[in-house]
Amino acid sequence: MVVQGPKITITQKTRSVASARREGYMSLREGMTFELERKVTEAELSDRHGNPWVHVFTTPKVVEWMEEVATNGVQPHLSEGQGTAGTVVNMKHLAATPVGLKVKVVAHLKQIDGRRLVFWIEAFDEVEKIAECHHERFIVDLTRFHEKVAKKRGGSAAR
């Protein structure tokens, strides 16, 4: 068959669908959006995480919520025995959020590249946008992942 026009696009699409079918996450689609909304409590504050006197929503906690949205959003679309592991976080913390404000985190699934998932995640408090993040996760087979980790642990002095 002779394919004319945007040949490369067609080829990539076919491969991506085929690989999704093979890996068993057919229902996952680029463009999907996942959300969570939650109040910032004392537990998320910087001074609880070693930055004394800075009583704001701490950067690692924002990252944690961002990863949570992406992870939980994708999980229902995976097969039994699959999960995702975070590989890349590029996060800009734009504004400080005091305790008591509600924060909404929205994750957009931008790209599915085989087992690699690319997200653009934004966080807003009640006043303004507070953070944005490029995030990547990998779909992994948990059994194989456990084997790999066990092997690494076995080769070390600890435990």
List residues near other proteins by CB under 8 A: 46, 49-51, 53-56, 58-61, 63-64, 67-68, 71-72, 83-93, 96, 98, 100-101, 127, 142, 145-146, 148-150, 152-153, 155-159
Spot the catalytic one: 49, 93, 108, 134. Answer: 93
93 is known as an active-site residue:
yes
Q: Least Å distance between CB 30 and other proteins?
A: 22
Nearer to other proteins, 32 or 99 (CB): 99
**Nearest-approach distance from CB 93 to other proteins, in angstroms:** 6
Q: How far is the CB of 17 from other proteins (least distance, A)?
A: 27
Catalytic residue among 23, 49, 59, 77: 59
Amino acid in the structure at residue 121: I
Distance separating the N- and C-terminal Cα atoms of the chain:
58
Among residues 61 and 107, whose Cβ is nearest to other proteins? 61
In the bound state with other proteins, the residue whose beta carbon lies nearer, of 31 and 155, is 155
Residues in the chain: 159
Alpha-carbon span 146 to 39, nearest angstrom: 34
Of 20 and 57, the one with the shorter C-beta distance to other proteins is 57
- Residue/partner pairs of 14-21 with CB below 8 Å, 24 or more apart: 16/112, 16/113, 16/114, 19/114, 19/115, 20/112
67 labelled catalytic: yes
Q: What's the CA gap between 98 and 58, in Å, rounded?
A: 10
SS3 content of the chain, % helix, strand, coil (to 5): 35, 35, 30
Active-site amino acid positions: 59, 67, 93
